[in-house]
Structure 1
Amino acid sequence: MARTAIEPMPQTGLSDWKAIWNRLEPGDKHRAMLSFLERLRDPASRLEMVCDTTLKTLARRKRFRVETLRRMKNPQLAGVLLPNAPTLFGAREWTLLFLGYFADYKSPIMCRFLDLCGVPHDDRGFVVGGDSRIRAPGDVQATTQTLVEEFSAREVAIYFRVLTQMDPQLWHFLDPVLPELTRAMEEEEAARAQEAVVDAQIADTLEVSEDFTQLDRVILDQILATLNGDDRALKPNELVDLVESVHALDTTRQRTYFHLGFMDALLPEREIDAARREMDDEQRQWYLSGVLSAHVRQRDHDAVKAILARHGGVFRGAAKTPGGAGAGLINEVYGYLLEQGYDREAMQLLRGQRSHLSPATFSLILDKATTAIREGDPALANVLLVELRQGLPYVQLDPDQRERMDTLLERRLGQALQAQGNFIGAREIFARLIEEDRVNTPCLLADRGLVSGGFRSLADVVLPDDPERCANTLVQLEHGEAYFRQAVDRFERLAINAHHALAVLEFLRWSGPDGQDAVRDRALVHVNEALIGMMSDTASTAYERLGLLGQCRFMQAVLMMARLDQGSARAAIESWRAIANETGRLPRWGVQRFLESADLVEPRLATEIAECVWRHGGESSLTMIDRPEWFAGSVYLQDELLTLARNSGDKSGIEQWRVWSVLVPAALSAGRVDVAQEGLDAMEALAQDSRFCEPMLQWLEHPERLDPAWSEVEILRSRFRLYRRLGRDPEAFAQLRALFYALRDTRPMEAAQALDLFRECDAPGEYFADLHLPDTASDEGDDADLEEQLRVGAPVKVLFVGGNEIQARYTDTISRTLAEEWPGVVVSFRHTGWSSNWGRDVDVLKRQAIDADAVVLMTMMRTTLGRALREALNDPPRPWIPCTGTGKQALLESIRRAARVGLQMQSGQASTLRE
């Protein structure tokens, strides 16, 4: 099939597409529709217009709202679209449908056909290299016959008809074989309908359709005894004489060839010879049946594989011929074929021999179908069950056994249809079983309720993580509520599945905005009943594997904790501890509700839950457990959050802010002041982005919450910078006034520098004219004298700390200007910016600050770094000058002032020494 064959030729008739569609089995129709919808709704397919047209047409026909159809999941929508497809679909839609169906479910026949044609293709059967690579096989008739032998006339006829419908000119070389294929398909279907009559005729004429006789069993026992080396067993040559003598007595006895093959495969000195000249096709099939049975008994996987590869035609002949050697194969090797993954061979055998199943083989296949449903392969289960339904009348069972098998078969078929999303078919089967009262089990009523709600299985009845899906799940459960309650009323505690469904239903009702205590208590009753049943039921491991046991325990924990009393809280936390390893399966909103209730009862319980959630969810769980008080009670959580925060440099600013804003109050509550200081420093750095200025100001509104991590002075400095960054100067100057008063009496030098900040910021005099330091006055004469000394080369060392790469551009110009004016002034620049790596260099900066005569500290510096440097400058005392501007002139003026102050300090120290 070519990828480019999307648009069919104009002359293609719609009635032809309908004819092909009507040939498909119900299960195949459903699978084809699912493939069609998946492609139609896939954004990568770019089929939005086709999707809109299809849904609008369907909505008009069904009198639905289009949005209702859009919200449906694909399985549900497929159920609505299936009966309407023949009247809604045009050539384009049919083409898309069959492309998806063959690509998803029939790729083996596509690949095999292209292999026989010598056309390159991918693993899904699509032509590689475009339509120009497509060519007819050397012998179309032989190729067709090969495909029919491997896949049946019906499968090949449908495939070839689809190809010619898509592009008649491209696939014209198939036209000659289509009439014969169609006749063969009709003959196959007629043969299936008349299979009972044919089987009866075969039973009358062929002895080989009966079970082995006592003679056959004796021969088989002798072969096995010889192989095992039993004391009284025949010698190998004696065994050969026995089998060949039986064969010589009646050369038409077909079953003797089974013994020959069985013996040849088991005895080491014998060789397998399936090409004996005297054997006809039937005898060769019996021989191969014996060979395969022997290899299967020995579990010789390589030998089985080799036989099926070398003699596949003989095997297929035996498989499709009812009775005879095939009847022996179905009961001897069918289970092995399924187990080892020979699905195609097993299916060929089942289709041909379904009227010759033994009770044991019937049960084996039914168990395989049940397992397929549980393991998520309902398509395989559906195929097996349909074949079993047709073969059940021929299985040798007493009436009671037949009734039980038929009932179980019908229920499994309903479950397979349900798992495939064919809720209409499943509902019909379950309704019939309930009406006839053939199944005395609460599970059937629960299944009926699940189908009414559109659930594929009980495993889908869980608490969704998304609020919108919660509402949808509640509506779905309400559709089946009557059946769940009927099961509970009739079977009480035995109705485990119904109790679970009602538990989820009532839990979702209680979780809504109008949840009442009475609803909570009803939910708890159903949860407890479901738990008792799940933990005592023989299928408890299945409930646990599906996660339903954990879901029930979680609902129990949440509902018990919501009672808000100590006794219930203890029981709730025990339930929680039992599912601590399943946190990833639980809905986040439910965990948050559990945490909030636990916090109301006892905060340490909330901390324990939060710690468990973090252990299994890590950073992703932070949105659930973002309350600082829960982190404050756990050193483990604080350390985890600190590690996350320190390694979050590659994350967005918003993500970094969220982590630090949880950690800082938690660390302060836990008395970890150093961690809180580190966090505040990081948050202040983030506030260089104006998006975080307002959040940072909100943090600083309550200084008592930051004590003792930040002092009042540090908070005022940070507020000043933030308001300036936002362009809100009046508020910034208000912070500067408060800073002046905070420093005036205890740190007059810094208070004086705060006054200088007003001037450097060009603040109107009204903001600072009334601010005075005690016993201080400017002395212009002294300044002139200092500048004269500097002009003649007085040596002064100045350290400039702060700023970023922008200020770094000015360093050369500033250095040249100072060298021309004051040749003795030496300035060292350290542009720290707002980098988080300043801690690596802080000790070096401290030493340089102590060695300098004066230091300039820019406001473009992290608070923690500024604190560390100011502490270093206080012991021994060293003057420091603020620099609030960011331009070249502001930097130059700050350095000049620092040089004068540094020279003045030198003179003061010299005078002290002389005195």
Structure 2
Amino acid sequence: MGGAPKGRTWLGVWKELDPATRRAVAEAAWEHPKIGKMATAALAQHDRVRRQTVDRWSVEKRADRFARMRRLPNAQLAAALLTHYHLARRERLVVSFLDFLKIPNQRGLIENIEELEAPARSRMVAAIRRMVATFPKSHVKLFLDVISCQSAFDVFREFDLARQESLVDEALEPKKRTQAPTDTFAGQLASELADEPTEPQRDRTSPQEETPPTFTTLDQVLMRTVVAAVAEVHGALQPEKVDDLVEEVIQLNLERHQSYFHRGFMTVLLGRELALDFPEASEPRRGWYACGAILGYRRRGNLDAVVELLGQRPELLRELSRPGTGYAEEIVSVVFDAFRRKGRFAEAARFLSPNVVARAGVDLARSVLEAASGLIRERREADARKLLDVLLAALPTLREDPDLPDDFEVLLQRRRAHCARLRGDFEGARKLLEPQLDVSDPGVRSDILADLGLIECGLRSLADVRLPPDEQMLGDFAAQFERGWTLFQRSSRVAAGGRNHGDFCIGMALFAKGEGDESISYLERAVAGMSADPDRYGRFGPLDSARLALATALAETADLARVPYAQDLLVQAVESKAKAPQYMLRRALMALELTDPDVGVEIADGFYRALGTRALPVLAETRLVRHVPDALDELLATANRGTLTKRRRWDAAWTVLQESHAMREAASGDDAASSKERATEALDVLVELADEAPFIDEMIELLADERGPWRTATDALDARIVQATLYESKGQFANAATELSRAFHATLDVDDEWALGKAEALLDDIRALGGDEAVASLEPRYRQYKEVFERRSQSGLVVPPTVDPEEFYGLVLVVGGNETQQAQDEAIAAAIKEQWPNVTLIFERTGWASSWGDQLKNMEGELARARVVILMRYVRTMLGKHIRKRCSENDIPWVACTGSGRASMLRAIEQGILLAWRQSGVAAAGQ
């Protein structure tokens, strides 16, 4: 309903509570275990102390401190506090209201609130009036505000309208809110409460924030009138009428400059264009006009427009930042937040002045200090120092504010010391820190002692305590902590198990020294403490370093009970996307695999998913890459990438060959076939790269190992032929002839149609290397084998006398051979054309190329059209196998050419043509 009043918000209700009520609510909170834990965490964060410190305080002290918190970190906490307070302290009021409305409840607690129907508005009006007459008005107002926070639920959807109709007492009239409600009695207390406060949220629409405290009742009425008109609230004035009203107020007294606020406020809310240079404009009038516009932009959630406005009118920025004008204090937090969101801290610092910051209050001062802390973490010392200088000048006035945290000044001096360290002024940093030791609580004192220790070590920040990139540098890394060792030990003792910077430094030093067992207790305390504030310590800062070192130290204890924690730490470190030293990942991974192989494999897969290509060196070094197929495929792609260095390609191919061979027996089915294909492709890359030193020698050494990983990729005959080729390229002809002789005998040991042709070709190659003497001992066996083969062979196929050769159509694909056979292609093609005029020959002279996979892809179209395939020697074993497999799948006959001369090739081609004719019955026309 467009004219319906807006519900309250949890954060807004809490903020408007008087200190006494806030204290009472806080006292009740610690009676509930979970809400008390949430309150403890919020208070520790607010006062910048450890939770253990808050736990040691009495309930009264906790409540007093909590009551000073006008802003809570999130709406969930506010809802929990207020609902528990009413159920625990004001149960009769709650039950009376719900019972009168006939809403089922258990002592005020509503269950299944989403399923309840809304009571009639008239009954709700009566219930509100009854409560006003029965209970204290302050109690009723707070309770009605709590109910208003829940008006998003159907059962209370008419509540705000009913409240508006029923109340005549102005003290109970609800203020308008635009932020959506967030929780319920039932939803808050019957559900699981978070243990930690979430990111702080600001109640950006609170009238208390939007209404400058210097405004009179007239100003407040004008603001509410403008807001109501823009929201089209039922009964509100039309925008034109509000225009008239604002202008009349301005004209009544032109010296009342703050009236121009409402013109700027209304202009922005109505979406009109700003007019800063109106006829009667002066600096104060323009300032108030801009002040209203800026608060209007904030209300609309458009802080970018604030930055744009002040960027276009720099003189306006100077005017608005001038202290004592009345408007600077009202918009300083909005302007600062706008520039901060854009990362424009230099402009934000120029806008701030000590007087304005002091008058704006503690909340702004804390925001400025928080922004400076973030800049320090980003190493933006100059921007951070400008903000800190403003706070330092504002400190005398801020000390008078009772809401100023006790440790604010200590933290401010620490941040100034951090800036000094970042610019290398270690002595200046020491002078700032040492006086703070006597006035800080133990947790902060521990951090200061650690800071002083880092200064002694010459380290600019805690983030500089980072593991070196090279494992050989660990000794020097550890040695640098010796100068500050005593201070780190004092820090550890003072903290007594806090977050602790001293424990972190000691743990990292011990780990780097190789004393992993001794480092664990220190690193555990450091990780536990810093994990509570990951935004501050993360981004591969101290937290990730500590996690990684602790995970490695725990893994290397080989204690099964500690494996889950080590695994969790390692996963967190990797998922941070930070660049961790590879030797740390390798050490942790190897240790975990030795202790629990299944965990090692699981983490290896997680490494690859999180780090991608960056994980490959670690996975290859630990040999766990064999369990990650996708990583092996990426390594194989790396090996085939011609733009990379030969060494990198060689190492990648070698790893794939080695790990695929290792998995040949463990894999089964498709996995086994994939392993074999990867190994074959990897070996092809290695053969391709072995064309110069040192790769030739490495390849010879690889193939010389009879039990080497090459066995998964090729057979022994092909391996010996490759070795002979490598020896020949080095000029070692005797060694090449020896390898070919071994290949010759291995060929004749196999009884197939290829043997005779291969043996003949090998004899030719051996003769070319060593002359007739080299083949003298081999020829007798060759002749004997040939005689046996010819006796067994059938007479060749001949053209049937009834068939005309011109009736034969089709394509004959000849695969194999090298440049020697290629020289005869034209003569062979002419001879076949003369006898078989309609037969087309295509030659694919593959030689001993390593890229047989690419060759096979290039022949796909020819294989699909071929009537017959002729396979010659000098074909890679895997290529020959795949071609024969394709022929079988497509019912294409194939013939082996057992010789290397022209006569052998012609005979094989003619046999293939006749075989194709016989298989099809008649020659197919039109190929």
User: Which position in structure 1 is the counterpart of 2:780?
Assistant: 772
RMSD: 5.3
The aligned runs of 1:175-190 (5 Å cut-off) are none
Q: TM-score, normalised by structure 2?
A: 0.58
> Quick one: structure 1 residues 469 and 814, their matched pair in 2 at CA, closer, same or farther if it must change by over 3 Å?
farther
- For 1:292 and 1:609, locate their aligned partners in 2 and report how far apart those are by CA, in whole Å: 57
Matched, 1:568 2:562: yes
Query: Which position in structure 1 is the counterpart of 2:380?
Result: 377
Offset of residue 561 of structure 1? 1.6
1:288-318 Cα distance to aligned partner (Å, 9 max, x none): 4433433333236698679757975576367
Distance in 1 (CA, whole Å) between partners of 2:643 and 2:722 is: 25
Deviation at 1:488, TM superposition (A): 0.1
Contact 2:450–2:501 (8 Å) recurs in 1:
yes
> How far does residue 612 in structure 1 lie from its aligned partner after superposition?
2.2
Q: Which residue of 2 aligns with 1:415?
A: 418
Matched, 1:529 2:543: no
Q: Equivalent of 1:624, from 613, 618, 625?
A: 618
Q: Show the counterpart of 1:590.
A: 584
How far apart are 1:572 and its partner, in Å?
Answer: 2.5
Correspondent of 2:856 among 821, 826, 839: 839
Is the 2:540–2:579 contact (alpha carbons within 8 Å) kept by the matching residues of 1?
Answer: no
Give the Cα–Cα distance (whole angstroms) in 2 for the partners of residues 570 and 771 of structure 1: 68
Quote the sequence identity (%). Answer: 21
Do the aligned residues in 2 keep the contact of 1:798 with 1:899 (CA within 8 Å)?
no
| Map of 1:741 onto structure 2 | 745
> Is the counterpart of residue 865 in structure 1 residue 879 in structure 2?
yes
* Displacement after TM superposition at 1:588 (Å): 0.8
Equivalent residues in 2 for 1:233-312 (5 A)? 257-266=256-265, 284-299=282-297
C-alpha distance in 1 between matches for 2:220 and 2:475: 65
Q: Tell me the CA shift for residue 487 of structure 1.
A: 0.5
Alpha-carbon separation, structure 2, partners of 1:685 and 1:238: 88
8 A contact 1:293–1:329 mirrored in 2:
yes
SS in 1 for 2:780: coil
Structure 2: state its 5+ residue gaps.
1-210, 665-671, 791-804, 914-927
The Cα shift of 1:337 comes to: 1.7
Summarize deviations over 1:601-653 as a string: whole Å, max 9, x none: 344443333322222333443222225952333444445545655x6355444
1:632–1:303 CA distance, 2 compared to 1 (3 A):
closer
- Equivalent in the alignment of 2:484: 480
Task: State the alpha-carbon separation in 2 of the partners of residues 213 and 745 from structure 1.
Answer: 102
What residue in structure 2 maps to residue 447 of structure 1?
Answer: 451
Give the aligned partner of residue 330 of structure 2. 332
Using the TM superposition, give the Cα deviation of residue 522 of structure 1 relative to its aligned residue in structure 2, in angstroms. Answer: 1.7
Q: Does 2:653 match 1:660?
A: yes
State the alpha-carbon separation in 1 of the partners of residues 859 and 451 from structure 2.
70
1 or 2 for the larger relative contact order (CA 8 Å, sep ≥6)? 2
1:881 to 878, 891, 899: 899
| 2:468 alignment counterpart | 464
CA shift at 1:562, angstroms?
0.9
Cross-structure match for 1:755:
763
8 Å CA contact 1:292–1:307 kept in 2: the answer is no
1:631 counterpart letter in structure 2: V
Hey, what does 1:195 align to over in structure 2? none
The 8 Å contact of residues 259 and 287 in structure 1, kept in 2 or not, is answered as yes
Mapped to 1, the partners of 2:451 and 2:212 lie a distance apart of 46
**Native 8 Å contact 2:815 2:872 kept in 1:** yes
Q: Assess if the C-alpha contact under 8 Å between 2:332 and 2:360 holds in 1.
A: no
Distance in 2 (CA, whole Å) between partners of 1:743 and 1:603 is 43
Task: Mark the CA change 1:768 to 1:726 in structure 2 (over 3 Å): closer, same or farther.
Answer: farther
Distance 1:898 1:766 in 2: 26
Structure 1 residues 702 and 330, CA gap change in structure 2 (3 angstroms): same
Q: Confirm or deny: 8 A CA contact 1:693 1:722 kept in the other structure.
A: yes
| Structure 1 residue runs without a partner (length 5+) | 1-211, 249-255, 511-518, 783-793, 883-893, 907-915
Residue 608 of structure 1 pairs with residue 622 of structure 2? no
Q: Sort the Cα spacing of 1:843 and 1:262 in 2 relative to 1 into closer, same or farther, 3 A.
A: closer
How big is each residue's C-alpha offset from its partner over 1:159-193, in whole Å with a ceiling of 9 and x where there is no partner? xxxxxxxxxxxxxxxxxxxxxxxxxxxxxxxxxxx
Cα displacement (A) at 1:442: 1.7
Q: Deviations 1:40-88 (Å, cap 9, x if unpaired)?
A: xxxxxxxxxxxxxxxxxxxxxxxxxxxxxxxxxxxxxxxxxxxxxxxxx
Matched to 1:384, the amino acid is L
Q: Secondary structure, in 3 states, of the residue corresponding to 1:324?
A: coil
Q: 1:768 to 1:905 in 2, by over 3 A?
A: farther
Corresponding letter in the other structure for 1:350: L
Kept in 1: contact 2:626–2:660 (CA 8 A) = yes
**Structure 1 equivalent of residue 495 of structure 2:** 491
- Compute the displacement of 1:772 (Å): 2.3
Residue 677 of structure 1 corresponds to which residue in structure 2?
680
Structure 2 distance, partners of 1:577, 1:303, is 42
Give, in angstroms, the shift of residue 520 of structure 1.
0.7
Aligned residues of 2:728 and 2:736 also touching (Cα < 8 A): yes
- Displacement after TM superposition at 1:880 (Å): 1.8
Q: 2 CA distance for matches of 1:313 and 1:755?
A: 96
2:549 is matched with: 555
8 Å Cα contact 1:642/1:663 also seen in 2: yes
- Measure how far apart 1:822 and its partner are: 13
Q: Give a deviation string over 1:776-828, Cα, whole Å, max 9, x none.
A: 3999xx9xxxxxxxxxxx99x99975567x76984578669999x99999996
- Residues 452 and 897 of structure 1, relative CA distance in 2, 3 Å threshold: same
Q: Which has the higher helix share?
A: 1
- C-alpha displacement of 1:677: 3.3
Q: Is the partner of 1:648 in helix, strand or coil?
A: coil
1:857 partner SS: coil
Cα separation, 2, equivalents of 1:903 and 1:297: 95
Q: Distance in 2 between matches of 1:560 and 1:378?
A: 37
Assess if the C-alpha contact under 8 Å between 2:741 and 2:766 holds in 1: no
- CA distance, structure 1, for counterparts of residue 276 and residue 769 of structure 2: 106
Instruction: State whether residues 285 and 318 of structure 1, in contact with CA within 8 Å, keep that contact through their aligned partners in structure 2.
Output: no
Aligned to 1:694: 697
Note the C-alpha offset of 1:486.
1.5
Give TM-score, length-normalised by structure 1: 0.58
Q: Point out the more displaced range, 355-364 or 286-295.
A: 355-364
After TM superposition, give the deviation of residue 497 of structure 1 in Å: 2.3
> Alpha-carbon deviations, 1:83-141, whole Å to 9, x = none?
xxxxxxxxxxxxxxxxxxxxxxxxxxxxxxxxxxxxxxxxxxxxxxxxxxxxxxxxxxx
Aligned counterparts of 1:586 and 1:296: Cα–Cα separation in 2: 45
Q: Distance in 1 between matches of 2:785 and 2:406?
A: 113
1:730 lines up with 2:734 in the alignment: yes
Counterpart contact for 2:491–2:502, Cα < 8 Å? yes
- How many residues are treated as equivalent by the alignment? 641
Q: Partner residue of 1:181?
A: none
- Structure 1 pair 767/550, CA: closer, same or farther in 2 (3 Å)? same
Match status 1:895 vs 2:919: no
Q: Cα offset for 1:324?
A: 3.4
Q: How does 1:327-366 map to 2 (within 5 A)?
A: 328-341=326-339, 347-351=349-353, 353=355, 357-360=359-362, 361-366=364-369
Task: After superposition, give the CA deviation of every residue in 1:501-549 in whole Å (9 maximum; x if it has no partner).
Answer: 2222222222xxxxxxxx11121111211122234x3x34433455544
Q: CA contact under 8 A between 2:812 and 2:867: conserved in structure 1?
A: no
Letter in structure 2 aligned against 1:526: Y
- 1:431 paired to 2:434: yes
Q: 1:732 to 1:657 in 2, by over 3 A?
A: same
Deviation at 1:265, TM superposition (A): 3.7
Q: How far 1:591 moved relative to its partner?
A: 0.9
Partners in 1 of 2:307 and 2:857 — Cα distance?
Answer: 68
Query: Does the residue aligned with 1:710 lie in a helix, a strand or coil?
Result: coil
SS at match of 2:781: coil
